Amino acid sequence: MQSIRIALYCLVAFLLPRLDGFGTAASGNETRTPNVILLMSDDQGWGDVGFNGNKNILTPNLDAMAAAGVKFNRFYAASPLCSPTRGSSLTGRYPFRFGVLAAHTGGMRVGEVTVAEMLKQKGYRTGFFGKWHIGWVKEEDAGSRGFFSPPGQHGFDHWFATTSAVPTWDPCVTPKGWKKWGATEGQPWKGGAPYVLNGTPVTENMAGDDSRVVMDRVIDFISDEKQNDRPFLATVWFHAPHEPVVAGEEYQKLYPDAGKKRKNYYGCITAMDEQIGRLQKKLQELQLTDNTIVFFCSDNGPADGLAKKGIASAGKFKGHKHQMYEGGTLVPACAVWPGVIPNGTVTDVRCATVDFFPTIANIVDFKFKEKPARPIDGIDLLPVVRGETSSRPTDLFFGYRRLVSGIDGQGLIRGDWKILQEATKGDKRRIRLYNLASDPYERKDLAQQNPEMLESMKQAMQEVNDSCARSRDGADYRY
């Protein structure tokens, strides 16, 4: 009976979004400026979704979204950990340009131009919801490694945010058995009010699934903007499935044959997926589906410990979070925009989080007023999903750095060639060279066999480093 119940859950959850949102045909999408929704999960591996072949985790709504729009087979986070990637999603720039090189080591500079600031110039209302992690959201909590830099300083009119991780169930309470980061189980999590709404700590409607807590605020925001007939940007960065990863009992029961850690990890992802389905049904109810583009991706590969235990998955790709191998930066991703992105599109073109900004900029016809325009590292994704290009026209760089700990991980992809510098502490940072066409799982280091290609790739990576250093040092900011 349990297996039948799980099958029915999958069937119902899969069909509802396709009927009520994802599968709706467009009618005049491009006659007005589209709404934009940017969804991001936290530490969800490439292999932790059904649309990338996972048969254990129930993600029917994400699977429906991928089927109704485009599935990106090779989509990269700008870094193998959270904060740098988040900044890249907002700016279209490599983290090494804006100086957020690792978690809790800085915050977004107000001199950066974000997607929210760009869209505000075009008459949008802008909202942020979830895990910010590119600056403190409470000024009194700002630590020695970063500074107060909340969403409201970066173009967001309305924001409901935490500085960093919270438990994925009962986000204001330290979960049972959790002993890391100085927390005590059963006690308030980070003071008991980690969420801030437009500068004010929130204590109401904070129990249960954290993805539901976030989505309640998203739906209120979207409903208000529909009523006021204004285009909107909703940036929704879930905490799931980042540790402390906890699922409610009803979600754990969907996985009766799994162990405790898997019940929580799988159930947490399914709970988030349920809220993505809820969002799509609300868009349909408000008649916004046809005029809304929705992106989804993760911020980096699966968490180290969960990946090593075989709970979280990067699929067949090597590595995990904090590593420069594919498993650290390759993430699940899809997008839907009925009538513009053809149903059932699948692309192997290498795309990335730096591509969101230029894609949206071209959709709304945004151009920088400053001369010369600041460097934007991404590309427009629409020619990719329309099949107008079969390969990425530019290099792709990613990395993270904690030089105080001797960590300096970097990678660059040019065509099918990839060079990486391992993100290893001390002086053991090895340089490796791979051909991703013949060796997508990075099993054979070709550095010694191809010295000329190795030197060429080293030079290319150094050129990006030099350009990013100039940006970081002030070349892109007004004095």
Rounded to the nearest angstrom, the gap between the alpha carbon of residue 16 and the centroid of all alpha carbons in its chain is 25
CATH 3.30.1120.10 residue ranges of the chain are: 396-475
Q: What is the pLDDT of residues 90-126, one digit of tens each?
A: 999 999 999 999 998 889 999 999 999 999 999 999 9
pLDDT at position 231: 97
* Contact present, 50 and 65 (Cβ < 8 Å): no
Assess contact for 99 and 468: CB atoms under 8 A: no
How big is the CA angle at 86 (ends 84 and 88), to the nearest 5 degrees? 70
Integer Cα distance of 99 and 102 in angstroms? 9
pLDDT digits (tens, 9 = 90+) for 214-263: 999 999 999 999 999 999 999 999 999 999 999 999 999 999 999 999 99
Contacts of 188 (CB under 8 A, 6+ apart): 172, 173, 174
State yes or no: pLDDT of 163 exceeds 90: yes
pLDDT band at 22 (very low <50, low <70, confident <90, very high): very low
Q: Is the pLDDT of residue 20 over 50?
A: no
pLDDT in the model for residue 426: 66
**Average pLDDT value over all residues in the chain:** 92
| DSSP assigned state of 431 | E
Q: Which of 367-381, 385-399, 449-463 has the lowest mean pLDDT?
A: 367-381
**451 residue type, one letter:** P
> How far is Cα 40 from Cα 45, in angstroms, rounded to an integer?
12
For residue 273, pLDDT over 60 is answered with yes
What confidence category does residue 444 fall into, taking pLDDT thresholds of 50, 70 and 90? very high
The CATH class, in words, for 396-475 is: alpha beta
Inform me whether the pLDDT recorded for 11 exceeds 70.
no
Band (32; pLDDT cuts 50, 70, 90): low
The share of the chain scoring above pLDDT 90, in percent, equals 84
Q: If you write DSSP's letter for every residue of 15-58 in order, what string do you get? A: HHHIIIIITPPPSSGGGSPPEEEEEEESS--TTSSGGGT-SSS-
Task: Give the total residue count for the chain.
Answer: 479
Predicted pLDDT at 219: 98
For position 48, what pLDDT does the model report? 98
CB 241 within 8 A of CB 272: yes
Cβ-based neighbour number of residue 249 at 10 Å: 9
Q: Would the pTM of this model clear 0.75, i.e. be above it?
A: yes
By C-alpha distance, which of 326, 322, 340 is closest to 385?
A: 340
* Residue 287 token pair: 């008649």
Give residue 14's pLDDT: 41
Place of tokens 């699922």: 247
Radius of gyration of the chain (CA): 21
125 touches 156 (CB < 8 A): no
pLDDT on residue 74: 98
**Please, where in the chain does CATH 3.40.720.10 lie?**
2-18+32-385
Alpha helices (H) in 330-374, listed in sequence order = 356-364
Strands lying side by side in the sheet with 333-336: 200-201, 196-197, 158-162, 125-131, 232-237, 35-41, 292-298, 333-336, 70-72, 345-347
Average pLDDT on 456-460 reads: 98
What percent helix, strand, coil does the chain show, rounded to 5? 35, 15, 45
C-beta atoms surrounding 437 within 10 Å = 9
Closest C-alpha among 254, 248, 261 to residue 213: 248
pLDDT for the residue numbered 370: 78
**Which numeric CATH code is attached to 2-18+32-385?**
3.40.720.10
pLDDT at 361: 96
**Are β-strands 351-352 and 75-76 bridged in parallel, bridged antiparallel, or unpaired?**
parallel
> How distant is the alpha carbon of residue 140 from its chain centre?
27
Segment 286-308, tens digit of pLDDT: 999 999 999 999 999 999 999 99
- How does residue 363 score in pLDDT terms, banded at 50, 70 and 90? very high
CA distances to 44, 327, 328, 353, 464 from 332, in Å? 8, 11, 12, 11, 26
User: Using 50, 70 and 90 to split pLDDT, how confident is the model at 193?
Assistant: very high
